[in-house]
Amino acid sequence: MSERIAVIGGGLGGLSAAALLASEGFDVTLFEKNSNTGGKAAVIQGGGFSFDAGPSLLTMPFILHNLFTACGRNSDQYISLKKIEVICRYFYPDGTKIDAFADREKFKTEVHDKTGEPKDHLEKYLTYCQKIYDATADVFILNDFRSLKLFLSSTGLKSLLKLPQIDPLRTVHQANSSFFNDKRLVQLFDRYATYNGSSPFLAPATLNVIPHVEYTMGAYIPEGGIRRISEALQQLAEESGAVIRRGVQIDEIVTDGNKASGVRVDGKIYHFDRIISNADVNYTYEKLLNNPPRAEAKRYRKMEPSGSGLVFYWGVEKEFPGLEIHNILFSQDYENEFRELFEQKKIPSDPTVYVYISSKYHSSDAPRGGSNLFVMINTPYDNGKITEEEVQRTRETVISKVSTMTGEDIRPLIRFEDILTPRMIQERTNSRWGSIYGVSSNSRNAAFLRQANRSSSYKNLYFCGGSAHPGGGIPLVIQSGIIAANKVIEDTKRGSSG
């Protein structure tokens, strides 16, 4: 008889774990509290406009392809990805505009033409970023670095030798300042620390792995939007045999000694051999486990959540030929912006604004002649300071910035509006205080403190998703689902009782 597996949560991590285990013959049931799967990667629709609710850019697509291959399928039959030529258009307060081209030569020329920075500085920088990737990918991203077997393998030993290359002692900003003369380029590359909700002025330079992932491996958008990834993973899980129960909230993980024996829903207990939580790790300890392991729960409670975001979804009756799919309007004083975010823990007074317009690629995302503006700023997690008045004040600041950039007041052109606040992120996905990327990566040892994919207290409890190893963001949460599923497969083969 195949083992019975419960997956709690239908985010991208949970769907990935469910798909892989079902394809291996496990009897998988995934419980999702919302009426749709996808978690943060949901969709928002209204007034003829469609918006990706959360993530807007896909990197490391090989992880997605690997998952489909591991399930015996071809990802091309489920999802079609387009490589983006201009990854992002950057607007600076001094009027400079820099296009970050995917093509390396074009990008070097653009950077040189706009800032005078010698072309070889960019080349040297991206080579340095690649070295960090080469030193970290096998051990820290694609696998569980806690595995002794991995460390004793040739891959693990090679990675150990490369450890000095991961640049953990400098901050992202210190490292970037050492490569570029022009402050605008430092700001451009500092921004990548925000990809996991961190500050470039605090987070270790190891995060400079991210520009490699984006510029050397490429940035992608799926046909049908990022939401197509959630749909494709759900389809993969169901075709592989997983049962997905939407609108079912798990109230408790029931334990018996050092085993998780089942889940409680509406007062009824359902028994399972193994349980994977795709819900936020802190929430799993605080709210789901009836008998949380004290040390782990306490350690996790103390860890600072990552930053969050405030998103305005504006359906606008206008097209914007001067904008790209992805655009950044930088703040005047980046250091102060992060001081406000991470020290004062408030919405920045002059925030950097991100504008994503998917209708530039999928015309059906907006009525003819219109655009769907996904406009996001970084915020702290929900610490009680993000009041309704604060949100409205920020809305005005952001609208003014976007209007100045486009050269036209967009207020009278808005036909549809929706807003996502950190509190709403918490309510919709149970992420602790609405943090987007689990725990903060603002310290050198953060990567080592993240929740492992297998619990050390309950032998048949596993974790996947943005707050577990290897971290947040689409490719990493899919990988976390793969790692958690592989742990289950390994444990079953070893005969470790579930």
Smaller CB separation from ligand FAD, 251 or 304: 251
Stretch that binds ligand FAD, among 113-121, 125-133, 156-164, 429-437 (CB under 6 A): 429-437
| Residue showing the smallest CB distance to ligand FAD in the complex | 11
Smaller CB separation from ligand FAD, 136 or 451: 451
Q: How far is the CB of 357 from ligand FAD (least distance, A)?
A: 14
Sign for the CA dihedral angle at 215, 218, 222, 227 comes to negative
Task: Decide if residue 61 touches ligand FAD (CB under 6 A).
Answer: no
Task: Decide if residue 470 touches ligand FAD (CB under 6 A).
Answer: no
Task: Decide if residue 56 touches ligand FAD (CB under 6 A).
Answer: yes
Stretch that binds ligand FAD, among 12-20, 120-128, 138-146, 403-411 (CB under 6 A): 12-20
Smaller CB separation from ligand FAD, 87 or 159: 87
Q: How far is the CB of 17 from ligand FAD (least distance, A)?
A: 9
Out of 71, 87, 202, 250, point to the residue binding ligand FAD (CB under 6 A).
Answer: 250
Task: Decide if residue 474 touches ligand FAD (CB under 6 A).
Answer: yes
Cα 158 to Cα 115, 130, 141, 161, 473: the distances in Å are 38, 16, 15, 5, 26
Task: Decide if residue 430 touches ligand FAD (CB under 6 A).
Answer: yes
Smaller CB separation from ligand FAD, 112 or 423: 423
- Restricted to residues 164-183, the positions that interact with ligand FAD (CB under 6 A) are none
- Restricted to residues 22-51, the positions that interact with ligand FAD (CB under 6 A) are 31-34, 39-41
Stretch that binds ligand FAD, among 99-107, 296-304, 454-462, 472-480 (CB under 6 A): 472-480
- Restricted to residues 85-144, the positions that interact with ligand FAD (CB under 6 A) are none
Task: Decide if residue 237 touches ligand FAD (CB under 6 A).
Answer: no
Smaller CB separation from ligand FAD, 128 or 356: 356
Smaller CB separation from ligand FAD, 120 or 427: 427
Out of 198, 206, 278, 435, point to the residue binding ligand FAD (CB under 6 A).
Answer: 278
Out of 5, 6, 7, 8, point to the residue binding ligand FAD (CB under 6 A).
Answer: 8
Q: Could you write out the three-class secondary structure of the chain?
A: CCCEEEEECCCHHHHHHHHHHHHCCCEEEEEECCCCCCCCCCEEEECCEEEECCCCCEECHHHHHHHHHHCCCCHHHCCCEEECCEEEEEECCCCCEEEEECCHHHHHHHHHHHHCCCHHHHHHHHHHHHHHHHHHHHHHHCCCCCCHHHHHCHHHHHHHHCHHHHCCCCEHHHHHHHHCCCHHHHHHHHHHHHHHCCCCCCCEHHHHHHHHHHHHCCEEEECCCCHHHHHHHHHHHHHHCCEEEECCCCCEEEEECCEEEEEEECCEEEECCEEEECCCHHHHHHHHECCCCHHHHHHHHHCCECCEEEEEEEEECCCCCCCCCEEEECCCCHHHHHHHHHCCCCCCCCCCEEEECHHHCCHHHCCCCCEEEEEEEEECCCCCCCCHHHHHHHHHHHHHHHHHHHCCCCHHHEEEEEEECHHHHHHHHCCHHHCCCCECCCCCCHHHHCECCECCCCCCEEECCCCECCCCCHHHHHHHHHHHHHHHHHHHHHCCCC
Q: What is the per-residue binding string for ligand FAD in 196-235, x denoting contact by CB under 6 A?
A: ----------------------------------------
Task: Decide if residue 249 touches ligand FAD (CB under 6 A).
Answer: yes
Q: What is the per-residue binding string for ligand FAD in 286-325, x denoting contact by CB under 6 A?
A: -----------------------x-x--------------
Query: Which residues have C-beta within 8 Å of that of residue 240, sequence separation ≥ 6?
Result: 18, 19, 20, 22, 23, 71
What distance in Å separates the CA atoms of residue 469 and residue 31, rounded to the nearest whole number?
21
Smaller CB separation from ligand FAD, 115 or 284: 284
Smaller CB separation from ligand FAD, 159 or 474: 474
- Restricted to residues 369-398, the positions that interact with ligand FAD (CB under 6 A) are 376
β-partners of residue 377 are 310
Stretch that binds ligand FAD, among 10-18, 79-87, 203-211, 315-323 (CB under 6 A): 10-18
Positions touching ligand FAD (CB under 6 A) are 8-14, 31-34, 39-41, 54-57, 249-250, 278-279, 309, 311, 376, 425, 429-431, 436, 465-466, 472-474, 477
